[in-house]
Amino acid sequence: MGLTTVNLFHIRRKTLLKRFPLTHELYLRQALKRKKDKSYNFSTGILVFEDGTKFFGNGIGYEGNAIGEVCFNTSITGYQEIITDPSYSDQIINFTFPHIGNVGTNIEDNEADKTWVKGIILNCDITEPSNYRSVKKLDIWLKKRKIVGIFGLDTRTITNYIRDVGAPKGTIQFLKKGNHNFKDLLNKSRSWNGLIGLDLAKKVTCKKPYKWKSLKSWNKNKGYVKNKKIIYKIIAIDYGIKKNQLRCFSDINCSVTVVPANFPAEKIIKLKPDGVFLSNGPGDPAATGKYAIPIVRKLIKKKLPIFGICLGHQILSLALGAKTKKMPLGHRGANHPVKNLITNKVEITSQNHGFEVDLKSIPKQVKITHKSLFDGSIEGVEVKEKRLFSVQYHPEANPGPQDSKYLFEKFLNNIRKRKNG
């Protein structure tokens, strides 16, 4: 009979019901209902996982299909910033918060000019926007950006499923006629190689250097205002950079020149920066590291202050001799507690990563500064005497709390120390 929604859960029912008795009992009943009611086969949206598990819903956004790693995000705000974060390249986001799209979209909250996410999964239909800044309904915005979406699914059940199987591959499809070819979608999910070994930074990075326009962080009364007081010069290596990281540098009186991920170290040095920033980004850090590590090591030899975030943290760690590995689930949300091992304070952080620095591989000269209170994974490292540090999470937020924004000031202090001898 093959792996259908129904018999898959009969096979694994004991395990699933033991872990998630309510959600999976509900899911099993829904699956049995689908088997009896053929109208489910005419749903305009479908999600098919690599093991044959499938969910039906209603399509939104762009009509077509997309393949990627299915992950979940627990944030309750900032869906536009999340969808436009380049770190989500080749991923399908399952939003656990039910009200996505309720404030519409605007022209200011995009974290990148181009969108790289493959698709989104929602619990509820998109309502009419209710926000004074909204200029376009999310459904129309998704369609314009060619992002496939689906709603009407039990996103909590999907989250439990992802937690059980661990970062599965899947295909999402929206067809107005509802004529889905299950076998074809299943083959698409199974044939995709996944994120391990995949260098996505080269896909999302800028094609040539450019200067950031020095806009500061959002001001409720003034919006984004340009900072005319520039003191320090930063070079940002773009592995998938977010605009709010650039705004945070404008907040501390820094001009930023953004360069491609493979921009030669010699050219960076010729630009005479006061410090170098390694941005966030998607994909396997070890794959990006093939060209990124030699660049960073040359910059370290020049004793330049370096600050890394997310993929930038992983690249810096690799350059210092550590190793990275794929996580079973990853961290994605805006409520992740991280302990600062230097101050013993807990910071609530925004996170989005599926790889981590391997704790067992950390060299002696590298100090672990932060750790996750969810799973104990490394969230920050430092080589103080060389003015090098990085964090796995996102201190620039957007969306999320700003408990860790002090790290930009820390980077600035390292620059001042170097300039003052």
Residues 163 and 221 in one domain: no
Identify the active-site residue in 331, 336, 353, 394. Answer: 394
User: Which strand (E) or helix (H) includes residue 297?
Assistant: helix 285-301
**From CA 353, how far away is CA 195, in angstroms rounded?**
12
Average the pLDDT over 45-59 and give the result.
96
To the query of whether residue 248 is one of the catalytic residues in this protein, the response is: no
Kindly report, residue by residue over 66-101, the tens digit of the pLDDT. 999 999 999 999 999 999 999 999 999 999 999 999
Residues 52 and 156 in one domain: yes
Residues 97 and 18 in one domain: yes
Question: What angle in degrees, to the nearest 10, is found between the helix axes of 406-419 and 243-251?
Answer: 60
Residues 51 and 87 in one domain: yes
Q: How confident is the model at residue 105 (pLDDT cuts 50, 70, 90)?
A: very high
Residue 3 has pLDDT above 50, yes or no: no
Average the pLDDT over 375-389 and give the result.
98
Residues 185 and 226 in one domain: no
Residue 395 has pLDDT above 70, yes or no: yes
Look at residue 41 in the predicted model and tell me its pLDDT. Answer: 46
Kindly compute the dihedral angle of the four CA atoms of residues 396, 329, 113, 63, in this order, to the nearest 10 degrees.
-150
Residue 22 has pLDDT above 80, yes or no: no
Secondary structure (3-state) at 153: coil
- Total domains in the chain come to 2
Average the pLDDT over 7-15 and give the result.
41
Residue 306 has pLDDT above 50, yes or no: yes
Residue 120 has pLDDT above 70, yes or no: yes
pLDDT > 70: percent of the chain? 90
**How many residues are listed for the chain in this entry?**
421
Look at residue 219 in the predicted model and tell me its pLDDT. Answer: 85
CA-to-CA separations, 304 to 160, 180, 241, 382, 417, in angstroms, rounded: 44, 55, 20, 14, 11
Tokens 């309510």 found at: 22
Residues 135 and 207 in one domain: no
Residue 15 has pLDDT above 80, yes or no: no
Look at residue 220 in the predicted model and tell me its pLDDT. Answer: 82
pLDDT > 90: percent of the chain? 86
Q: Are strands 54-61 and 45-49 parallel, antiparallel or unpaired?
A: antiparallel
Kindly compute the dihedral angle of the four CA atoms of residues 290, 282, 62, 50, in this order, to the nearest 10 degrees.
80
Half-sphere exposure of 395 (CA within 13 A, CB side): 27
Look at residue 222 in the predicted model and tell me its pLDDT. Answer: 86
Where among 191, 213, 245 does a domain terminate? 191
Kindly compute the dihedral angle of the four CA atoms of residues 182, 187, 190, 195, in this order, to the nearest 10 degrees.
-100
**From CA 45, how far away is CA 65, in angstroms rounded?**
10
Give the number of other Cβ atoms within 10 Å of residue 339's Cβ: 18
Identify the active-site residue in 310, 313, 336, 370. Answer: 310
* Residue 310 neighbours by CB under 8 Å, 6+ apart: 87, 279, 280, 281, 352, 353, 391, 392, 393, 394
- Cβ distance 220 to 400 under 8 Å? no
Residues 108 and 233 in one domain: no
Stretch among 30-39, 114-123, 368-377 having the lowest mean pLDDT: 30-39
Residue 356 has pLDDT above 60, yes or no: yes
Look at residue 100 in the predicted model and tell me its pLDDT. Answer: 96
Kindly report, residue by residue over 124-156, the tens digit of the pLDDT. 999 999 999 999 999 999 999 999 999 999 999
Q: What is the 3-state secondary structure (H, E, C) of 45-113?
A: EEEEECCCCEEEEEEEECCEEEEEEEEEECCCCCHHHHHCCHHHCCEEEEECCCCCCCCCECCCCCCCC
The CATH number that applies at residue 408 is: 3.40.50.880
In a domain, residue 286? The reply is yes
To the query of whether residue 50 is one of the catalytic residues in this protein, the response is: no
Look at residue 19 in the predicted model and tell me its pLDDT. Answer: 45
Average the pLDDT over 13-18 and give the result.
45
**From CA 99, how far away is CA 151, in angstroms rounded?**
11
Look at residue 27 in the predicted model and tell me its pLDDT. Answer: 47
**From CA 299, how far away is CA 266, in angstroms rounded?**
9
Omega prior to 129 cis, within 30 of 0? no
Where among 131, 161, 191 does a domain terminate? 191
Residues 181 and 269 in one domain: no
User: Which strand (E) or helix (H) includes residue 119?
Assistant: strand 119-121
The CATH number that applies at residue 17 is: 3.50.30.20
Residues 143 and 93 in one domain: yes
In a domain, residue 318? The reply is yes
Partners of 338 in the β-ladder: 347, 372
Residues 246 and 391 in one domain: yes
Taking all residues of the chain, what is their mean pLDDT, rounded to a whole number?
Answer: 91
Structural domain of 208? 201-419
Residues 269 and 320 in one domain: yes
Return the closest-CA partner of residue 88 out of 101, 72, 108, 105.
72
Q: Is 167 left (phi over 0), alpha (psi -120 to 50) or beta?
A: left
Residues 121 and 102 in one domain: yes
In a domain, residue 340? The reply is yes
Identify the active-site residue in 81, 111, 347, 396. Answer: 396
To the query of whether residue 394 is one of the catalytic residues in this protein, the response is: yes
Residue 21 or 241, more confident = 241
Stretch among 36-50, 228-242, 266-280, 324-338 having the lowest mean pLDDT: 36-50
Q: Which tokens is 7 given?
A: 């018999």
Residue 38 has pLDDT above 90, yes or no: no
In a domain, residue 279? The reply is yes
